[in-house]
Amino acid sequence: MYRILYHKASGQACILHQKKRHYLGKWDNHPGKPPEAVKRRYEAIIARLAMEAGTEPTGSMLLSELAAAWVGWARNRYENPRTAQNLWFCVKPLVDLFGTEPASSVGPRKVAQAQQLMAKQGRTRQGVNMATGYIRQMFAWGVAQEILHPDQLARLRAMQPLRHGAIEAPESPPREAVALEVVKASLPFMSPTVAAMVRLQMLTGMRPGEVCSLTMSDIDRSNRERWVFTPRDHKTAHLGKVRSIPLLQPAMDILGPFLRADGLPVFSPAEEIKRWREEKRAKRKTKVQPSQLDRSKDNPDREPGDRYTTTTYRRAIERAGEKAGVGRWSPNRLRKLAAQSVADSLGLEASRALLGHCDSTVTRRHYAMSDLEQATIAARVLVNTCGGA
């Protein structure tokens, strides 16, 4: 692994590779931890050095260096910064155990030890399987960059997914669709902006991130009867897929009060706070004292942003559910509610198109009606047709 060094003459962090110094940027807080910008630069340089390693796999790269190179490549490949963070979270247990060993020495046994570590950390069996898949992707990237031998990837791909009971890890609870009654009970305890986001997501089946990032520049309003929202960044964008979300009249009515031409996201916490303060001031019955005309802090620790994140959106919904006495629920369950409603009425293919899945396999696995529900409907049909025999 390359050590991050401090170059006193320039005040920068650097690494040494084949007697050549590569600078990583200013390190003003030395001898403390390197700044985040230095760490990102480190990952980018490691990725470049890995790609320039030669046409023949050398097998000399450490596992920690391979992971840093892969995450650095992902940071430049995907627009969403959380993607690289999630990938690092998946491979970190393997790096914690074997980071100082050559990447070429990692096989199914060492990955199995990392799986056990993930289970001890509290990850579910399904989460361990998902992380294992991303570990394979990291080694597939190493093979594609001609850093590792293909035989190593073949050994890792021979590992079977962990079945129920194969590891001492909890099972992921099934994600059920939120009941419509729960949504209706929670809406009065939400701010007008969050309530509008919930209603819009329920009508369109959007992902939470798509609702949060919605801007007017992404909406084609040429058709008065149907607007079309085309997210610039979505889950299958890297596959060249275009996602088009129809917005019919009810959705258009929801968006009406939030239209803005400045290019910022439609749903803004900053605008919500501003609107709330204006309404509160308008309802005031007593005269405003001069000292209360502006009570904002000069340098507040936190200021409302221009857009909701998926985390702040989820927390707002969870708080509303608690206040309504119906329990906490997440916006992802709204998407499942929309999917199941469409699948029940129009079939799985219509639900797949609404959700923007590449094929119906994912729709069937996560969003379609459960086997018990389908069997119950089938049993009712039998009762109606054969019950009188």
What's the CATH code of the domain at 251? Answer: 1.10.443.10
Q: Are residues 152 and 260 in the same domain?
A: no
Between these two residues, 289 and 317, which has the higher pLDDT value? 317
Strands 245-247 and 227-229: antiparallel
Average pLDDT, the chain: 80
Tell me if 47 is assigned to some domain: yes
Between these two residues, 160 and 381, which has the higher pLDDT value? 160
Tell me if 174 is assigned to some domain: no
Q: Are residues 120 and 199 in the same domain?
A: no
CA-closest candidate to residue 88, choices 124, 53, 39: 39
- Banded pLDDT at 57 (limits 50, 70, 90): very low
- Banded pLDDT at 322 (limits 50, 70, 90): very high
Classify residue 385 by burial, with Cβ atoms within 10 Å: 0-12, 13-18, 19+.
Answer: exposed
Determine what percent of the chain is predicted with pLDDT higher than 90: 30
User: Which stretch of 9-18, 115-124, 252-261, 379-388 has the lowest confidence by average pLDDT?
Assistant: 379-388
Q: Is the pLDDT of residue 54 over 50?
A: no
Per residue in 349-377, pLDDT tens? 666 666 665 554 545 555 555 555 555 55
Q: Where does a domain end: 103, 124, 157? A: 157
Per residue in 247-265, pLDDT tens? 889 889 999 888 887 888 8
Q: List all residues 6 or more positions away from 3 whose beta carbon is below 8 Å from its beta carbon.
A: 15
| Residue range 239-254: mean pLDDT, rounded | 80
Q: Where does a domain end: 157, 189, 216? A: 157
Determine contact, residues 124/133, Cβ cutoff 8 Å. no
Q: Are residues 91 and 142 in the same domain?
A: yes
Q: Are residues 71 and 187 in the same domain?
A: no
User: Which stretch of 12-16, 58-62, 138-142, 354-358 has the lowest confidence by average pLDDT?
Assistant: 354-358
Tell me if 213 is assigned to some domain: yes
Q: Is the pLDDT of residue 388 over 50?
A: no
User: Which stretch of 89-93, 225-229, 324-328 has the lowest confidence by average pLDDT?
Assistant: 225-229
The CB-side HSE value for 209 (13 A sphere, CA atoms) comes to 8
Q: Is the pLDDT of residue 9 over 50?
A: yes
- Banded pLDDT at 236 (limits 50, 70, 90): low
Q: Are residues 238 and 347 in the same domain?
A: yes
User: Which stretch of 2-16, 37-51, 216-230, 310-324 has the lowest confidence by average pLDDT?
Assistant: 37-51
| Residue range 287-293: mean pLDDT, rounded | 64
| Residue range 290-305: mean pLDDT, rounded | 60
Q: What is the DSSP string of 2-50?
A: PPPEEETTTTEEEEEETTEEEEEEE-TTTTSPPPHHHHHHHHHHHHHHH
Q: List all residues 6 or more positions away from 191 whose beta carbon is below 8 Å from its beta carbon.
A: 272, 276, 316
Q: Are residues 63 and 124 in the same domain?
A: yes
pLDDT at residue 286, rounded to an integer: 73
380 backbone dihedrals φ, ψ, rounded to 5°: -65, -40
**Radius of gyration, CA atoms only, the chain:** 26
User: Which stretch of 23-32, 140-149, 375-384 has the lowest confidence by average pLDDT?
Assistant: 375-384
Per residue in 120-139, pLDDT tens? 999 999 999 999 999 999 99
15 backbone dihedrals φ, ψ, rounded to 5°: -130, 155
Across the chain, how many H-helices and E-strands are there?
A: 16, 6
Q: Are residues 279 and 153 in the same domain?
A: no
User: How far is 4 from 84, CA to CA, in rounded Å?
Assistant: 21
User: Which stretch of 143-152, 169-178, 243-252, 302-311 has the lowest confidence by average pLDDT?
Assistant: 302-311
Q: Is the pLDDT of residue 140 over 90?
A: yes
| Residue range 188-208: mean pLDDT, rounded | 91
- Per the structure, the complete domain to which residue 193 belongs is given by 180-283+303-371
Per residue in 66-88, pLDDT tens? 998 898 888 888 777 788 889 99
Tell me if 175 is assigned to some domain: no
User: How far is 115 from 168, CA to CA, in rounded Å?
Assistant: 10
Q: Is the pLDDT of residue 234 over 50?
A: yes
Q: Are residues 143 and 208 in the same domain?
A: no
Residue 144, SS3 per DSSP = helix
- Banded pLDDT at 141 (limits 50, 70, 90): very high
Q: Are residues 185 and 145 in the same domain?
A: no
Tell me if 288 is assigned to some domain: no
Number of domains in the chain: 2
Separation of first and last alpha carbons in the chain: 77
Tell me if 329 is assigned to some domain: yes
- Banded pLDDT at 116 (limits 50, 70, 90): very high
Tell me if 162 is assigned to some domain: no
Q: Are residues 141 and 32 in the same domain?
A: yes
Q: Are residues 129 and 217 in the same domain?
A: no
CA-closest candidate to residue 234, choices 200, 208, 210, 205: 210
Q: List all residues 6 or more positions away from 119 whose beta carbon is below 8 Å from its beta carbon.
A: 125, 128, 167, 168, 169
Q: Are residues 138 and 239 in the same domain?
A: no
- Banded pLDDT at 239 (limits 50, 70, 90): low
Tell me if 48 is assigned to some domain: yes
What is the DSSP secondary structure assignment for residue 123, as one 8-state letter? -
